[in-house]
A and B are shown apart, each in its own frame.
Chain A
Amino acid sequence: GDQVEQSPSALSLHEGTGSALRCNFTTTMRAVQWFQQNSRGSLINLFYLASGTKENGRLKSTFNSKESYSTLHIRDAQLEDSGTYFCAAGDTGYQNFYFGKGTSLTVIP
């Protein structure tokens, strides 16, 4: 089965608003990465977390290994935030990462 369940699968936001994306894990994960995949297909690193919370500009991510989830919060959404967001979680061996199926985000003017 899928080790990483990502939700929602699709999301539309008006410019200036915000929302949260979530990944739930079915097994214990030791680290999580969040990526944005742009229209050209490139995967852009957003966050890498082994625990706790990180913030970068309008983005904030939290990883709770004990409760098996991670979130990505987007505030004040801009048009360039459109794309597909993936989380990838690392298992106890750390170097094997399992990807979720992604959240397709559309920011509407």
Chain B
Amino acid sequence: EAGVTQSPRYAVLQEGQAVSFWCDPISGHDTLYWYQQPRDQGPQLLVYFRDEAVIDNSQLPSDRFSAVRPKGTNSTLKIQSAKQGDTATYLCASSPPSYEQYFGPGTRLTVL
């Protein structure tokens, strides 16, 4: 069974640039999560979906971050006008109805 895949693995931007991250969850997993993990900290939930519906996006900085999962499968997280404080690893996870989460390898973002 293929795991959660993410791309790109690395991204380096100047402040003010935009970037998109892509996640392909494990087949059959209805729930998909995006986390932000700053260096030397634990993952912090940004948003999660059940199928195509957003369940909780209260921690998503809505003025610059957006996330979609239009068909209830793949998902895209986008940052408009990146800031240095956005430097972190962005992790995608998915879970089946039994709720155990499985993580992808992450995208390591550096904003200069």
Contacts and interface: CB of A to CB of B under 8 A. Distances in A.
B105 A41 contact: yes
Contacts of A88: 43, 101
Query: What secondary structure prevails in chain A residues at the interface with B?
Result: strand
B106 A96 contact: no
Interface string B28-50: 00010101000001111100101
Contacts of B100: 33, 45, 48
A40 B101 CA distance: 19
B42 A43 contact: no
A99 B102 contact: no
Given A41-B89, A100-B42, A101-B41, A95 B105 contact: no
18 contacts: A6-B42, A31-B99, A33-B100, A40-B105, A41-B89, A42-B103, A45-B101, A86-B43, A94-B99, A95-B95, A96-B45, A96-B48, A97-B45, A98-B45, A99-B35, A99-B42, A100-B42, A101-B41
